[in-house]
Structure 1
């Protein structure tokens, strides 16, 4: 009998229960791994934004130093996914 580890990266927790049979194996342990901090450059690639834009939008949750900007991936995702565009003026008349 061996111990195998499966890593799942998802927005919501998977529907796996203790004692469940998965591919001939029984689930005996479930735990959530603490996420590492992610850099502004990695977030810029993921969201197709500039590094400067990422740093400006996430200045409130910066956990790194002034030269090394590091962010919690969950909090960064929540702040970057909402639309921050400022709409000014009247609506366009078609």
Structure 2
């Protein structure tokens, strides 16, 4: 029984999501995103290695009482850590897009 004062519910047909049928364009985009994610990962690890080297050099300079050189190393470390934080955030965002 239908009442004239009730709105009829619209039937929305949902397409079945078949993930096996993905357009080649999407596959191409995902491939490019994965390549960029890998580049960010390599850059992040390279910055971490450089950070470790500079930190050891900073400690060595501090132990040798070379305060000026230690300050230069410390400033460089601070800049590297800022960049690595930014790269890590970008990497996480890119991984979210890929998923």
Report TM bin, short chain.
under 0.3
Q: TM-score, structure 1 length as denominator?
A: 0.21
Q: TM-score, structure 2 length as denominator?
A: 0.21
Query: Larger strand proportion, structure 1 or 2?
Result: 1
Q: Which has the larger radius of gyration?
A: 2
> Greater relative contact order (Cα 8 A, min sep 6): structure 1 or 2?
2
